[in-house]
């Protein structure tokens, strides 16, 4: 059995354990499966056998490191999305005509930004923001992982914010 076959056999033998391990760190089995798949891609790269005493331990360490990284990234992105999603305080008085014009201009910029997004990013953002769907529901509809959905929404929000920011800099 060659080196690649041994790595694949080792991975397949421990795949379920690896997913359970990653799910314990991430709290999400779908993300855990993505992490384990990514771990195998890294594990399958050429490495010197003399450097790795226990290949199974090495594979688990790759999964752990990736899961911790994903967990941190998702937490950071959630904080970012939570900050963006906070509704503005409702004013007691009606908006001035100038404020209404400003709000309409901002809405037009956001609508323009939405048309500039890749189709899947736009759909994910619209389903999440306007449809109120969860990341898992959007993932099922778009046939992608919730982690990818989260990334699509995050990038779309950043694009919309940049569009608004660039407009404010021009004025």
Q: pLDDT tens digits, residue range 19-44?
A: 899 888 888 888 888 888 888 888 87
From CA 5, how far away is CA 142, in angstroms rounded?
33
Phi/psi of residue 128, nearest 5 degrees: -75, -50
What pTM did the predictor assign? Answer: 0.47
Average pLDDT over residues 83-110: 70
The residue ranking higher by pLDDT, 168 or 22, is 22
From CA 95, how far away is CA 170, in angstroms rounded?
23
From CA 156, how far away is CA 151, in angstroms rounded?
8
The CATH number of 95-170, from 2.40.30.30, 3.40.50.10470, 1.10.10.10, 1.10.730.10, is 1.10.10.10
Which of 54, 53, 56 has the alpha carbon at shortest distance from 64? 56
Residue 139 CB: number of other CB atoms within 10 A? Answer: 20
From CA 8, how far away is CA 71, in angstroms rounded?
26
The residue ranking higher by pLDDT, 125 or 92, is 125
**Mean per-residue pLDDT over the chain, rounded:** 82
Structure token pair of residue 1: 């059995």
Contact between 135 and 28 under an 8 Å Cβ cutoff? The reply is no
Residue 104 CB: number of other CB atoms within 10 A? Answer: 10
Average pLDDT over residues 107-132: 87
On the question of pLDDT at 55 being above 80, the answer is yes
The residue ranking higher by pLDDT, 51 or 70, is 70
Residue 47 CB: number of other CB atoms within 10 A? Answer: 14
The residue ranking higher by pLDDT, 168 or 136, is 136
Q: Could you give the residue range(s) of every CATH 1.10.10.10 domain in the chain?
A: 95-170
Model confidence band, residue 90 (pLDDT cutoffs 50, 70, 90):
low
Contact between 120 and 142 under an 8 Å Cβ cutoff? The reply is yes
**With pLDDT > 70 as the criterion, what percentage of the chain qualifies?**
86
């Amino acid at each position: 059995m060659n080196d690649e076959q041994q790595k694949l056999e080792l991975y397949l033998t421990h795949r379920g354990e690896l997913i359970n391990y990653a799910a314990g760190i991430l709290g999400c089995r779908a993300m855990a499966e993505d992490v384990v798949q990514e771990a195998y891609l890294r594990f399958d790269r050429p490495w010197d056998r003399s450097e790795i005493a226990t290949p199974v331990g090495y594979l688990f360490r790759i999964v752990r490191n990736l899961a911790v990284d994903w967990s941190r990234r998702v937490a950071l992105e959630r904080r970012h999305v939570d900050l963006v999603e906070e509704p503005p305080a409702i004013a007691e008085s009606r908006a001035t005509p100038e404020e209404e014009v400003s709000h309409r201009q901002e809405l037009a910029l956001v609508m323009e930004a939405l048309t500039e997004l890749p189709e899947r990013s736009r759909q994910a953002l619209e389903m999440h923001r306007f449809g109120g769907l969860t990341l898992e529901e959007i993932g099922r509809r778009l046939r992608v992982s919730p982690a990818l959905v989260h990334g699509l929404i995050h990038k779309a929000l950043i694009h919309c914010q940049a569009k608004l920011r660039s407009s404010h800099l021009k004025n």
